[in-house]
Structure 1
Amino acid sequence: MSQFYVVVDKLADWEPYFPSQDVISLDDYLSEVHSKAGKKVRVINLCRDYHYLKSGYYCSLLAEARGHKVIPSLTSINDLSRQSLSSLQFVWADALLLKLPQPSQDEIHTLRICFGRVLDKAFSKLAAKLFELLPCPILEAQLKYSNGRWQLRNVKPLGLKHLSTSAEQTLFAAALEKFSLQIWRKPKVRKAFRYDLAILVDPQEALPPSDEDALQYFTKAANQLGIGVERITRRDSARLAEFDALFIRETTSVDHHTYRMAKKAEAEGLVVIDDSASILRCTNKVYLADLFSVNQVATPKTVLLRQPTDARLKALVKEIGLPMVLKIPDGAFSRGVVKVETEAELLVQAQLLLKESVMLLVQEFMYTQYDWRIGILNNQPLYACRYYMVADHWQIYKHESAQSANTEAESGGFDTLPTFEVPKAVLDVALKATKLIGNGFYGVDVKQSGDRVVVIEVNDNPSIDHEVEDLYLGEQLYSEVMKEFLRRLEERGR
């Protein structure tokens, strides 16, 4: 059961709005509200001043010290106080600013943003994005239109007292009501779980890391351990402070909301699998190639390519041999990976792929009937699969036929085995690779050709589908993952 409070400097600050027993003064919050066993406290800090050592700063500081979930968090307050950091977070804004209406002359426009909402609907997407990145109840953004374009000049937090007009107060009241109902709503019927876990998914994803049945098994396993589960999407970024842990079940990328939400969840103190460092390291094949080379992890012969000159390509053919494989750094599910058979094909494909990335991996081609996938959790083998190549194809996924027929990608067959039946050399190289990355949840792709065993890549957020990866362990697979969440949650609470 959660307790919910809106904290103001003085109760008189709340006079323009309907009375509520959830609204308390800062003095009452400091003296009376403490965490009790079995209860969680959610706080909206509406104090007048968030500057360092002012009332709003102390409210959030002490809320976090007490283990309360508070908005704005200290991280948000500090980010907003350091304009250099805040400005770095505005790189994304250009695309949204281009879509704003263009005035007939230069002007400065000020937005008052209440929980991501604004009076002028033309600025709604910009306001929502600012609130997502810098969650604070009331923000003021200053925009300047000059030389035919908008610029985002400044973003700062405001206190409740700054809302002086009836329209702004009405906007705030509606936004707060929507926020409190949707973000910290009390479930109608729900068990009192010890912890709350958010599972991040994209319902529209064509090849998600887990299918519907697997997600339900994860939920069942978590509930049996006293962990409540709710699925969230990218739209729920502002809700992260509501949870104790985040499990990402959506294909990840660094230039993507999955990475930003992982970072945000970590800043809020959540247990996160997979963590932002793992996403950063695993989703870039260039990073992995260099990491494995330096640490002597066996891989296919690999070279980095930037300039596809004739001399460079001839040297690659001599060094690696044909056929060879070209990869963009952040491809997933066999996308952005091509095999070339001739020097002419090498030149064409390299030029095409270098339009997507300034650097490519050129890798020795090793044909095998299947790739090993070793699932590793906290540096322990969890499951093992053999993914077979698509018939008459060299990969386990075939996207070309799917794109032409507008259907799902074709995939090969699979075997699921207990880890004790996996060759020791395969397990050893998989564990050596993941120990260089972290203690998260990884899927290591390994090729075995005779006595030669090499790592192809390490995937964060590995696939877990019902009756595929779980075919040997069954429900125990889901239970082991949730036990790791519970272990980390209890360790965090010590």
Structure 2
Amino acid sequence: MTRLVIVVEKPSDWGSYYPSDNVVAAADYLREPIGEGERTQVINLCRSYKYLGTGYYVSLLAEARGHKVIPSVRTLADLRRRSLYGIDIEDLNARLAKFFPEDAGDASEFALLAYFGRTRYEPLQDLVRQVFEAFPTPILRIEFERERAWRIASIRPAGLHTLNDEQENGFAEALDAFSKKLWRRPRARRKYRYDLAMLHDPAEAMPPSNRRALKQFVEAGAALGIEVDPIGRLDYTRLAEYDGLFIRETTSLDNHTYRFAHRAEREDMVVIDDPVSILRCTNKIFLHDLLTKKKLPIPRTEILMRDAPARLDALPDTLGFPLVLKIPDGSFSRGISKVGSVAELRAAAEQLSQHSALLIAQEYMYTEFDWRIGVLDGEPLYACQYFMSRGHWQIYDHAGGGARKPKSGGFRTLPVRDAPADVVKLALRATAPIGDGLYGVDIKAAGERLAVIEVNDNPSIDAGVEDAYLGEDLYRRIMDEFLRRLERRRRG
């Protein structure tokens, strides 16, 4: 069970709340190795976090002792730099317009206190959550100012001792909610060596793993002494309690999956998919340049800019018809059009350009199926053939749109040793410059010609499909890799 330690600068700072064995004075925490040999989480509520001050040393020694602490030393450094990286402030004016009453419409300054990412001002809740995710700190004072447009003027820590009665109530409610989510009691009596968070979205229409596969991961982990705990996007603040993160949700650079991966890496956790792999795989422009640089075979490709019509007009001569037009960050056959004429090309380019300033045009390579080679830590894991959807040129047919699940073609899963050796070798070459994570490499084989279509950082692992040959051993191998990395991390 995780031990919770709340550190205050002076015992009187906690005077408004019930006494608790979890609360210790900063001097005692700095003097004595509290929580030695235990999994310990620390909430640092010192009055100031200035460099080389008492609050700074509490966070510094907490990390030196292997404790999870909020705020971390890195957070304190980020706050000093006042960087707003990762915080969406594009619609700040609209949010504050909703907040301010009409009779205060000419306000030029505004400040709020946020407790563990919570505020009583509902129109600003999402922004406050983002600020907390960027700078995880118990109490933050966020100041706004307006000249021609609103902007965040400053983000500063605030001390518990500065709160009035109403603010103390808000802090107590937020602390209670935060600690219940972050430090929960174990759900089972069995002792596990490691805790692994598995990020997934039960409402995702096309998740990378179905429910039965997620259950298999949980069971495989338990057999190895790893408690695999399914979590969702609202559990961002709980990451500090885990030893590793396994992302089983479709990844993107502009959503919470990348923030989870980045945070987990900063917390020195074992993470698959790691942020570098997400960066290199999810954007096809980046991936195209990487594969080209490594001289790996890919379909003939042109990169198109939205404001360069001459390049678009030249495509029939350079690639011929039919050709394939893609947005850089599509997944599961979405954001892709096959065109067979100049009119279709222009219409598709106009439609897809609404989503991206750059488009990818590729020659069309007809095959009955695509190879998918699963790769883990540089070794082949599984081999599948994904057949095109009946009457369609892709594996997934999204005709009809809407939220319904698209039609898909059949599949054939076989031992890696039975897949063509040159296909497996090409898959390993394609993942080598990306990393040592879990990948799915899509390859077309047309006669003697091979071409890498893409490398997926978050490959599909569905019960009944990718595990059709290996069965439970597929999940065991992936959990074995987590165990190996966790043990290596523990040894230092």
TM-score, normalised to structure 2, is 0.95
Identity, % of aligned positions: 49
* Between 71-80 and 384-393, the greater mean CA deviation after superposition: 71-80
> Cα distance, 1:282 vs. partner?
0.2
Answering whether residue 489 of structure 2 is matched by residue 492 of structure 1, we say: yes
**Correspondence for 1:267:** 266
Query: What is the alpha-carbon distance in structure 1 between the residues aligned to residue 70 and residue 378 of structure 2?
Result: 35
CA–CA separation in structure 2 for the residues paired with 1:366 and 1:244:
43
State the 1:158 CA deviation: 1.6
> Larger deviation: 307-316 or 461-470?
307-316
> Structure 1's 377 and 104: CA in aligned 2 closer, same or farther, altered over 3 A?
same
Structure 1 position 94, deviation (Å): 2.9
Kindly state the Cα deviation for residue 50 of structure 1 after the two structures are TM-superposed.
Answer: 0.8
1:28 and 1:73 map into 2 onto residues whose CA distance is 19
Which residue of structure 1 lines up, in the alignment, with residue 178 of structure 2?
179
Match of 1:207 in 2: 206
What's 2:394 paired with? 395
Amino acid at match of 1:390: S
Aligned partners of 1:119 and 1:168 also within 8 Å: no
Q: Which residue of 2 aligns with 1:254?
A: 253
CA distance in 2, matches of 1:135, 1:275: 20
Give the structure 1 partner of residue 292 of structure 2: 293
Post-superposition offset of 1:492: 1.1
Q: Deviations over 1:305-361 (max 9, x none)?
A: 115766434432222111111111000000011111112211221222122111111
Offset of residue 63 of structure 1: 0.8
Does structure 1 conserve the Cα–Cα contact (< 8 Å) formed by 2:198 and 2:230?
yes
* 1:119-175 Cα distance to aligned partner (Å, 9 max, x none): 44443333222222211001000012444x432111011222221x10011111111
C-alpha contact 1:34 1:66 (8 A) present in aligned 2: no
State the match for 1:331 in structure 2: 330
Partner of 2:237: 238
Change (3 A) 1:407 1:146: same
The one-letter amino acid paired with 2:158 is L
Q: Give aligned pairs, total.
A: 486
In structure 1, what is the equivalent of residue 131 of structure 2?
130
**What residue in structure 1 maps to residue 109 of structure 2?**
108
Instruction: Decide which moves more: 424-433 or 225-234.
Output: 225-234
Counterpart check, 1:362 vs 2:358: no
1:185-214 C-alpha deviation (Å, 9 max, x unpaired): 213534221111111111111000011100
SS of match in other structure, 1:457: strand
Q: Which amino acid aligns with 1:134?
A: F
TM-aligned CA deviation for residue 34 of structure 1: 4.5
Corresponding residue for residue 98 of structure 1:
94
Q: Does 1:407 align with 2:404?
A: yes
| Mapped pair 1:440 → 2:440 | no
**CA deviation vs aligned residue, 1:63-94 (integer Å, no higher than 9, x gap):** 111111111112211111111x2x3344x023
Partner of 1:66: 65
Aligned-partner Cα distance in 2 for 1:108–1:382: 57
Structure 2: where are the runs of 5+ without partners? none
> What SS does structure 2 have at the residue aligned with 1:42?
strand
Q: Which secondary structure does the structure 1 equivalent of 2:459 belong to? A: coil
What runs of 5+ residues in structure 1 fail to find an aligned partner? none
Contact 1:108 1:145 in 2 (8 A): yes
Tell me what 1:33 maps to.
33
Between the aligned partners of 1:477 and 1:436, the Cα distance in structure 2 is 24
2:482 is the counterpart of 1:481: no
Contact 2:92 2:151 in 1 (8 A): no
Residues 106 and 146 in structure 1, CA contact (< 8 A), matched pair in contact too: no
Query: In 2, Cα distance between the equivalents of 1:11 and 1:4?
Result: 17
In the other structure, the counterpart of 2:18 is 18
Q: Is the 8 A contact 1:371 1:388 kept in 2?
A: yes
Shift of 1:181: 1.3
SS in 1 for 2:91: helix
- Assess if the C-alpha contact under 8 Å between 2:92 and 2:150 holds in 1: no
Contact 2:110 2:144 in 1 (8 A): yes
Change over 3 Å in CA distance of 1:127–1:457 after alignment to 2: same
1:356-381: CA deviation from partner (whole Å, max 9, x where unpaired): 11111111111100000000000100
Distance in 2 between residues matched to 1:3 and 1:308, nearest whole Å: 57
Inter-CA distance 122–299: structure 2 relative to 1 (3 Å threshold): closer
- Counterpart amino acid of 1:420? R
Alignment match, 1:470? 467
Paired position in structure 2 for 1:431: 428
* Aligned residues of 2:252 and 2:278 also touching (Cα < 8 A): yes
Contact persistence 1:383–1:469 (CA under 8 A)? yes
- Name 2:314's counterpart in structure 1: 315
Code of the residue aligned with 1:345 in structure 2: it is E
Structure 1 residues 309 and 284: alpha-carbon distance in aligned structure 2, compared to 1, 3 A threshold: closer
One-letter code aligned to 2:95: K
- Give, in whole Å, the separation in 2 of the partners of 1:69 and 1:410: 45
**RMSD (Å), alpha carbons:** 1.6
SS of structure 2 residue aligned to 1:94: coil
Partners in 2 of 1:146 and 1:58 — Cα distance? 38
CA distance change for structure 1 residues 174 and 306 in 2, over 3 Å: closer, same or farther? same
The reply on whether 1:352 has 2:351 as its aligned counterpart is yes
TM-score by length of 1: 0.95
